[in-house]
Amino acid sequence: MKTRLGVLLGLLILPLTLSAASFKPGHDAVASAQPFATKAGMQVLAKGGNAFDAAVAVSAALAVVEPYSSGIGGGGFWLLHVAKDNRNTFIDGREYAPAAATATMYQDKNGDVIKGASLNGPLSAAIPGEVAALAYINKHYGRLSLAQDLAPAIKLAHDGFPLDRMFHEMIANRVDKLKQWPAAAAVFMPGGQVPPTGYILKQPDLARTLKLIANEGDAGFYRGRLAREMVDAVRANGGIWSLEDLRDYKVVLRQPLVGEYHGMKIISAPPSSSGGVVLLEALNILSGYDLSHDSNLMQKHFIIEAMRYAYRDRAEYLGDPAFVKMPIKRLLSPYYAAGLRVSILPDKATPSSDLAPVAAGAPESHHTTHISILDKDGNRVAATFTVNFRFGSGFMPPHTGVILNDEMDDFVSKPGVPNGFGLVGNSANAIAPHKRPLSSMTPTFLETPHGLAILGTPGGGRIISMVLLGTLDYFNGGDATSIVSIPRYHMQYLPDVVFYEPGAFTPDEVTGLGNMGYTLQRVTPYGNMQAITWDYKTGKLMAAADPRDIGTAEVR
């Protein structure tokens, strides 16, 4: 932990040293959830591309080698740092609801939520944003052509690649869902069987679709033959997409949220993600404590309480900024955080039922993906993107190779009724035509006077608490390996339970937290964080993939 003097000194030198604009890493680094995707990024960098080209290449490759997590039938957020301008920008390529969507579309005639309706099949799919985001990033920030950036993904889809352990498990876990949709089953379960590890999985339809995008840009996806094929297939199977929904889709450029924690600058995701708001609100609450003087037990108590309060506000206030007026300024004010802090007792858990009510948690699964990239010139990308749950909706329009997302489940189907992640919300996140569902994805940059970190992770509602713990670890001197490895714990207001990985709490801490009134639940390891850290002084550049999964990180 830093001393108060260290914090003061840090704040004094902050304006002079906060950015790495004046010098360069001199090396490239890529961390992603799948080795072939990491390699795709390194290939594009070796061909003269920059971090933004690499982000396009890695994102597209993940659509091929990790389609249960993300893909061109999904969407996400790409946080960019442009080194030459010392500028950050945020590309919101989140899906939006089709124009025919309504607030009650997943309720039956009695007003009850129809189980699974927002999770399976084309009715659960929102209009994808990933292709628009990748084309935009390539056009405005890349050095190479879109075709060059997409080339590794096209090759992986066309030539195939050996199925890894994780992919095999994901198919095996999703047999029932995939079997419902013949095009998806034909690709992922050839001959009706779950292919074994090492099987060379080829996706010729997806290769053709990617080639079309390489040749025609995003118009190849949002207009013309492919758009018609997708809309026809969606509508023939109970969905509500229209050609206009696809034609009208556009990325939104946003200012990232910026906050400060004891002299460390945090740059993170604005709404339509809840990530940055919840992360910064929790850090603001924690700023009022001198955690370095607290016992480990007390630190964890305060961190859990900060999560509880910040996640509660997520449920109450947050949604798509084009539709909802949100009190972001108030939520991120230090005075607001101070007000919340006074109600946190030093020796007792705050029952979530004592907070103004807004309703329960689901086990985490594999879906969503995160990439962290830094190039030799200091350009950076933190991007988190998704098809939502494993293999999204499961639906693949025939001949396209594209798995469609089930992002509609990130809306509130009914106020107070938890979604697939157990997250609750209210009208701020109700379904409306062309509205973006509230996300938890939290791609983040951290900058201190001595270095920077790039981080993020999949994990549904737990994303934000993982990024919070990674942020605190970096503040306390952690590097990329430590950030992705530290044991995790999570509290999201409701359910009033602290979920924790083995090793997150010592036996004494389990007893201590129990005595304070916490309900603790040990869970299997979760998350799949990718991080990069760069120390300006020593020049040390580290990239690390989460040891819980199969991802890889390379520095060259």
Which of 368, 442, 448, 457 is flagged as catalytic?
368
Half-sphere exposure of 279 (CA within 13 A, CB side): 39
- Least Cβ distance, residue 311 to ligand GLY (angstroms): 13
**Rounded Cα gap, residues 234 and 114, in angstroms:** 19
Closer residue to ligand GLY, CB minimum distance, 419 or 533: 419
Residue type present at position 296? N
Q: Is the dihedral of CA 114, 115, 121, 126 positive or negative?
A: positive
Per the CB < 8 A criterion, the answer to whether 32 and 62 are in contact is: yes
Closer residue to ligand GLY, CB minimum distance, 118 or 368: 368
Neighbours of 47 (CB within 10 A): 15
Interacting stretch for ligand GLY, rule CB under 6 A, among 170-178, 182-190, 306-314, 433-441? 433-441
Where in 385-414 is the site for ligand GLY (CB under 6 A)?
386, 388, 407, 410
Answer for which of 152, 422, 460, 478 binds ligand GLY (CB under 6 A) is 460
- Least Cβ distance, residue 252 to ligand GLY (angstroms): 15
Decide: is 456 part of the binding site for ligand GLY (CB under 6 A).
Answer: no
Closer residue to ligand GLY, CB minimum distance, 368 or 485: 368
Where in 135-194 is the site for ligand GLY (CB under 6 A)?
none
Q: Note if 368 is an active site residue.
A: yes
Interacting stretch for ligand GLY, rule CB under 6 A, among 169-177, 291-299, 434-442, 508-516? 434-442
Give SS3 for 163: coil
Half-sphere exposure of 220 (CA within 13 A, CB side): 18
Interacting stretch for ligand GLY, rule CB under 6 A, among 55-63, 132-140, 227-235, 437-445? 437-445
Closer residue to ligand GLY, CB minimum distance, 25 or 256: 256
Answer for which of 88, 439, 471, 530 binds ligand GLY (CB under 6 A) is 439
- Least Cβ distance, residue 197 to ligand GLY (angstroms): 27
Answer for which of 34, 138, 268, 368 binds ligand GLY (CB under 6 A) is 368
Closer residue to ligand GLY, CB minimum distance, 368 or 471: 368
Decide: is 118 part of the binding site for ligand GLY (CB under 6 A).
Answer: no
**Rounded Cα gap, residues 273 and 396, in angstroms:** 26
Q: Is the dihedral of CA 211, 215, 220, 221 positive or negative?
A: positive
Q: For residues 46, 50, 56 and 62, what is the CA-based torsion angle, rounded to 10 degrees?
A: 50
Decide: is 272 part of the binding site for ligand GLY (CB under 6 A).
Answer: no
- Least Cβ distance, residue 161 to ligand GLY (angstroms): 25
Answer for which of 440, 457, 528, 552 binds ligand GLY (CB under 6 A) is 440
Nearest to 487 by CA among 497, 469, 501: 501
Decide: is 528 part of the binding site for ligand GLY (CB under 6 A).
Answer: no
- Least Cβ distance, residue 322 to ligand GLY (angstroms): 17
Per the CB < 8 A criterion, the answer to whether 489 and 501 are in contact is: yes
State yes or no: cis peptide before 449, omega within 30 of 0. no
Tokens representing 141 are 């920030």
Residue 371, φ and ψ in degrees, nearest 5: -125, 145
Give SS3 for 381: strand
What are the distances in angstroms from CA 369 to CA 85, 386, 422, 496?
28, 6, 20, 27
The footprint of ligand GLY (CB under 6 A) covers: 368, 386, 388, 407, 410, 439-441, 460
Name the residues annotated as catalytic: 368
